[in-house]
């Protein structure tokens, strides 16, 4: 394989502690760390977001975009929170945060595909949560974060990771072994390490590190299951993390849903795919 040949003489990956990974936007991290604190006041959220003017202006732009389509555009962060609600705002801020974290790498098609895959997973997770009894905000947030480990690998060795993404083919979980061989970590382990480094709530740890693990069919439906299915639905609706990804057929994915979700969720792939594409365009056009 071209990639194996190219990497034959590479030295092994350094230990995690020595990697120089760029910091995630502080504002988005602090918002995520507040995720479990119900006593946070709206003005505290607004003050936190406004403390970073560039971040705040991007939050406002997306809040006023077609993604949320408010009847009256918000002109301040506080107004945006009032219109969208504190919960939606957290997901929105994370979207802004991940986009800022990816920065210039978004210009590479392989990295752009990962960004779209994460966003598609988040939008699907949000819908699946809303037809069940799951927390929509945690579902959306977990969706945006679930493949964050891929960004770490892309930062560690950008050329090699892009090359792996464009040359690899097979089911989504098959890429993990090749990642371990080349980088020393797969993207699930790297993602888990980032969650720990960034001191994010531990509930994200299992979701990020186990999203490709085979599902226990007889266990109860959890947030990790919801993300596991949403990730594969993102592949199936036209937003795979890498072009050679073998997507699971939509009817098989529906079979995996609990009865209530299956009854209330989309039964046809086309309307869902169109809706996700439209929302992703709305975020990308701003
Ligand atoms: Fe993944
Ligand atoms: Fe994924």
Amino acid 12: pLDDT? 53
**DSSP state, residue 244:** E
Distance 168 CA to ligand 2 centre (A): 15
Give per-residue pLDDT as tens, 50-89. 998 888 988 888 888 877 777 888 889 888 888 887 777 7
In a domain, 205, yes or no: yes
How far apart are the CA of 153 and the centre of ligand 2, in A? 14
Quick one: which ligand is closest to 117's CA? 2
CA 208 / ligand 1 centre spacing (Å): 8
Of 103, 124, 156, the residue that ends a domain is: 103
Averaged pLDDT of the chain: 86
The band of 17, judged by pLDDT with boundaries at 50, 70 and 90, is low
Q: Which residues place a Cβ less than 5 A from the ion ligand 1?
A: 147
Of the two residues 282 and 67, the one the predictor is more confident about is 282
Average pLDDT over residues 214-223: 83
Ligand nearest to the CA of 209: 1
Q: How many helices (H) and strands (E) does the chain have?
A: 17, 2
Which one of 103, 131, 147 terminates a domain? 103
**Stretch among 73-77, 175-179, 233-237 having the lowest mean pLDDT:** 73-77
Q: What are phi and psi of 23, to 5 degrees?
A: -70, 150
> Would you state the structure tokens that stand for residue 92, as one six-digit string?
């929105």
Range of the domain at 239: 108-286
Same-domain pairing of 84 and 166: no
Tell me the pTM. 0.87
Q: How far apart are the CA of 76 and the centre of ligand 2, in A?
A: 34
Quick check: is 11 in a domain?
A: no
Please tell me which residue, 202 or 239, carries the higher pLDDT value: 239
Span from the CA of 233 to the centroid of ligand 2 (angstroms): 9
């Amino acid at each position: 394989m071209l990639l194996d040949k190219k990497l034959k003489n590479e030295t092994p990956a350094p230990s995690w502690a020595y990697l120089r990974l760029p910091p995630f936007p502080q504002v988005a991290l602090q918002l995520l760390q507040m995720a479990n604190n119900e006593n946070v006041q709206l003005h505290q959220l607004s003050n936190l977001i406004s403390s970073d003017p560039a971040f705040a202006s991007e939050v406002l732009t997306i809040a006023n975009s077609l993604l949320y389509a408010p009847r009256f555009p918000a002109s301040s962060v506080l107004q945006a929170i009032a219109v969208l609600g504190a919960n939606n705002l957290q997901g929105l801020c994370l979207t802004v945060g991940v986009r800022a974290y990816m920065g210039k790498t978004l210009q590479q098609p392989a990295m752009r595909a990962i960004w779209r895959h994460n966003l598609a997973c988040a939008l699907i997770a949000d819908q699946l949560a809303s037809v069940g009894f799951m927390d929509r905000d945690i579902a959306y947030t977990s969706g945006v974060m679930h493949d964050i480990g891929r960004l770490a690998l892309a930062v560690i060795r950008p050329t090699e990771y892009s090359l792996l993404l464009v040359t690899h083919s097979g089911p989504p979980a098959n890429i993990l072994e090749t990642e371990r061989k080349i980088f020393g970590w797969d993207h699930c382990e790297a993602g888990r390490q980032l969650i720990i480094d960034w001191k994010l709530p531990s509930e994200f740890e299992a979701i990020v590190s186990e999203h490709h693990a085979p599902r226990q069919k007889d266990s109860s439906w959890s947030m990790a299951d919801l993300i596991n299915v949403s990730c594969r639905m993102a592949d199936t609706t036209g937003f795979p993390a890498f072009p050679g990804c073998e997507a699971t057929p939509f009817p098989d994915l529906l079979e995996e849903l609990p009865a209530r979700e299956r009854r209330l969720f989309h039964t046809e792939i086309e309307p869902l795919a169109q809706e996700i594409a439209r929302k992703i365009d709305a975020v990308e056009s701003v």
